[in-house]
Amino acid sequence: MSLKLGLPVAAGLLVADQASKWWILEVLRLPEIRQVKLLDLGFAGFDLTMVWNRGVTFGLLAGDTPTHRLLLAALALAVCAFLLRWIARAENRLTAIALGGIVGGAVGNVIDRLRFGGVVDFADAWVGDYHWYVFNLADAAIVLGVVALIADALFRPRAPAKESP
C-alpha cells in the first residue's frame, strides 16, 4: 500500500524536477544569461540564478573529479534504496508521501551529477543582503520531505502503550 503512494510521488517529483532543469538549461538558457530577476520587493526577492553545485547539501563535500561524482551518486542511490525500503514499511500516508518526495529529489540530483558533473541549482531567495543557498525543485522536495517526517515523528498521536500482564 505505501509503495503505491510513495513511488508515484517520487516519479512525479523526478519528472517535474528534470523538466524544470531542462527548461532552465535549454529554453531559458540560464547558464548564458546568469540571472533573471523575478520578484524584487526591495527588502526581499526571488531570482533565477545559475549555480552548478558540485557537492552535496549546501555545497559540502564539493569536488570535480569523475570518481568524486560517482561516489556521491552511489552514496545517494544507497540512501534511496534505504528510503524505498522505509516507504514499503511506512505506517501512514504522510510518511510514504514525504519519503517519496525525498527519493524523487535525490534521484533527480543524481541524474544531474551523472549527466553534468554537478547539480543544476537555480532558485535564489533573498532578504536584505542575505541569500539562502541557491536550490532546485529536488532540493525543495527533499527539505519538505524531511520537515514532514520530523513533524510526523513529533506530533502524530501515539497508541497507548500495552501493559504487561
Task: Give catalytic residues, as residue numbers.
Answer: 121, 139
Cβ atoms of 135 and 105 within 8 Å: the answer is no
DSSP result, 18-68: HHHHHIIIIIS-HHHH-EEEEEE-SSEEEEEEEEEE-SSGGGTT---SHHH
- φ/ψ of 124, rounded to 5, equals -125, 105
Distance of CA 63 to the CA centre of its chain: 19
Q: Is the distance from CB of 88 to CB of 2 less than 8 angstroms?
A: yes
φ, ψ (nearest 5 deg) of residue 28 = -75, -30
Given the C-alpha cell 543544476, which residue does it identify? 120
Q: Are 76 and 67 in contact (CB under 8 A)?
A: no
